[in-house]
Amino acid sequence: MRINHKQQQLIDELFNKVKKRYPEIVFKDLQSSPEDPSDIWINIIADMDEDREIELRHYSAKLENEIFFKYGYEISIMPENPNSVYA
């Protein structure tokens, strides 16, 4: 995956804003979306309860939309919650 300087700046800003509000998150890695390789996923570990994870998703979605509308880059926070129970 190739990331330009502006994308790296936006990735750092997005992660730092989310981390400031949700300090328990931990950066895991970056990944291209399987659907569109130009979309960037910021994979994080989000060790939190379900309600807090939902809040995080809503908060990060607003920031992600701002980035898309202002710069045209699809950059998304992708939480992985070790507390999730999948049925």
Specify the CATH number of the domain 5-80.
Answer: 3.30.300
What is the band of 1 on the pLDDT scale with cuts at 50, 70, 90?
confident
End-to-end CA distance of the chain: 33
pLDDT at 51: 93
Q: Are 42 and 21 in contact (CB under 8 A)?
A: no
pLDDT at 5: 97
- pTM summary value: 0.91
Question: How do residues 28-86 score in pLDDT, each as one tens digit?
Answer: 999 999 999 999 999 999 999 989 999 999 999 999 999 999 999 999 999 998 877 65
Domain locations in the chain as residue ranges: 5-80
